[in-house]
Amino acid sequence: MSRSIHRLLSSSAALAVLLAFGMLAAGCAGTPAALSDIRYDFGPPKPAASAGAMPAVKVLDVSAPDVLESDKLRYRLSYADAQQTAAYANSHWIMAPSQLLTQRLRGALSSRGTVLTGADGVSAPMLKVDLSEFEQVFDSQSESHGAITARATLTQSGKVIGQRTFIARAPSSSADAAGGAQALATASDDLVAQIVAWLGVQALVAAQ
C-alpha cells in the first residue's frame, strides 16, 4: 500500500472518530434537558385577609383517592375524551396535591386561631377535607383551566356540625404544564379561602 493511500485512510478514520465523538458529545449534552423533571408547588402564600379570631380547630390531613395521592400533575382533554385523564411525563408537584392543600389550609387557618392535628389529645372541632378532583382541564387545544372539588366535614364530639362541597376553577395562563400548575395553585387558594370563610360562620365550641 502506498504512503499516500495509507495517509488518506488514516485521515478518513480519524475524521470518522471525531464525527462519532462529536455526535456522542452532542447527545450527552442534550440528555439532561430531555430527562429534566420540573417540580411545582403553590408558590408563596397570599397575605391573610383580616378577620375575627376563631376557636382552636383540628385540621386533619386532606384525603384523596389513590389516583391523586401522588406527585403527578394530571390533565384531562375534555374536548376529545372527557372520561380519560393523563399526567405530564416531566412535570410534577413537589408532593401530592392533598399534602400541599393540607399545608395551605392549616397555614390560612393559623392566622385566625390555633390549628391542631388529629394527633392532639384536645377536644376541639374537627375539620376533614376530602379531595375528589384536582386536574388541569383542556377545553380546547389552546385553552385550559384548573379544576378542584373537595368536600369539607366539620364535626365535634362525634357529631356533624356542618358539611359542604366546594368547587374552585381558575384559567390557565398557557396550555401546558406550567399553565396548569399556575391555574391549580390559584384555584387552591380560592378553595382554601372558601373553606376558611365557611368555617368562620359555623357554631364552633372552644376546645376544652
What is the number of H-type helices and E-type strands within the chain? Answer: 3, 8
Which of 95, 101, 120, 117 lies closest to 184 in space, CA to CA? 101
Instruction: State how many domains the chain has.
Output: 1
Query: What per-residue confidence (pLDDT) applies to 7?
Result: 41
Question: Is 6 among the domain residues?
Answer: no
Q: What is the dihedral of CA 65, 67, 72, 73, to 10 degrees?
A: -80
Answer left, alpha or beta for residue 158, where phi above 0 means left and psi between -120 and 50 means alpha. Answer: left
Question: Is 134 among the domain residues?
Answer: yes
Domain that holds residue 121: 38-200
Single-letter amino acid, residue 122: V
Task: Give Cα 62 distance to the centre of its chain.
Answer: 13
Query: What per-residue confidence (pLDDT) applies to 162?
Result: 96
Residue 118, domain CATH: 3.40.50.10610
Each residue's pLDDT expressed in tens, for the chain with a length of 208 residues: 444 434 433 434 333 333 333 332 333 333 344 458 999 999 999 876 667 788 999 999 999 999 999 999 999 999 999 899 999 999 999 999 999 999 999 999 999 999 999 877 788 999 999 999 999 999 999 999 999 999 999 999 889 999 999 999 999 999 999 999 999 999 999 999 999 999 999 988 766 5
Pairing of strands 126-138, 144-156: antiparallel
Question: Is 31 among the domain residues?
Answer: no
Burial class (CB in 10 A: 0-12, 13-18, 19+), 5: exposed
Question: Is 24 among the domain residues?
Answer: no
Query: What per-residue confidence (pLDDT) applies to 120?
Result: 74
Question: Is 14 among the domain residues?
Answer: no
Query: What per-residue confidence (pLDDT) applies to 204?
Result: 81
Query: What per-residue confidence (pLDDT) applies to 118?
Result: 80
Residue with cell 380560592: 190
Query: What per-residue confidence (pLDDT) applies to 171?
Result: 98
Predicted TM-score (pTM) of the model is 0.81
CA distance 152 to 121: 22
Query: What per-residue confidence (pLDDT) applies to 56?
Result: 92
Question: Is 79 among the domain residues?
Answer: yes
Question: Is 50 among the domain residues?
Answer: yes
Question: Is 91 among the domain residues?
Answer: yes
Determine contact, residues 74/86, Cβ cutoff 8 Å.
yes
The secondary element (H helix, E strand) that includes residue 85 is strand 85-93
**Dihedral sign, CA of 182, 185, 186, 187?**
positive
Burial class (CB in 10 A: 0-12, 13-18, 19+), 151: middle
**φ, ψ at 57 (rounded to 5°):** -135, 135
Query: What per-residue confidence (pLDDT) applies to 208?
Result: 59
DSSP letter for each residue of 100-120: HHHHHHHHHHHTTS-EE-TTS
Determine contact, residues 155/192, Cβ cutoff 8 Å.
no
Query: What per-residue confidence (pLDDT) applies to 28?
Result: 33
